[in-house]
Amino acid sequence: MKQSKKGVQAIETRKGGKATVLPVCSFCNQVPEQGIKGVMRVGIAWLCQACETKIMLLEVGSADYEIMIDKMRNVWKHPTGITHVF
């Protein structure tokens, strides 16, 4: 995954001066290697496949589970300007 600054999208410039807008996961603040194919939309947030897998494998009541619940709440509380939680 490519590192990105806080924000919903990252811009990658290619030859010829053309730019590509890429999604940034709202949970890990990374641009998936697969670009738009490596994320899904959750409301106005993006969720990458790696974070989706982490969420599915969490054990209810574990410390990691509670951390992810807090991260989800943070994303849902900021519908007009997502604050990254990592």
Q: What is the pLDDT of residues 11-50, one digit of tens each?
A: 656 667 777 778 888 888 899 988 888 899 887 788 999 9
User: Which carries the bigger pLDDT value, residue 68 or residue 14?
Assistant: 68
Domain membership flag for residue 46: yes
Identify the band that residue 2 occupies on the pLDDT scale cut at 50, 70 and 90. very low
Rounded Cα–Cα distance for residues 66 and 72 (Å): 10
The enclosing H or E element of 67 equals helix 63-77
The number of domains in the chain is 1
pLDDT surpassing 50 at residue 7: no
Six-digit token string for 21: 């807008």
Rounded Cα–Cα distance for residues 36 and 6 (Å): 17
Domain membership flag for residue 57: yes
Domain membership flag for residue 39: yes
Domain range for residue 51?
2-77
pLDDT of residue 66: 93
Domain membership flag for residue 30: yes
Closest CA to 51 of 67, 72, 27, 35: 27
Domain membership flag for residue 86: no
Domain membership flag for residue 31: yes
Domain membership flag for residue 82: no
The enclosing H or E element of 40 equals strand 39-42
Express each pLDDT in 48-63 by its tens digit: 999 999 999 999 999 9
- What is the model's pTM? 0.65
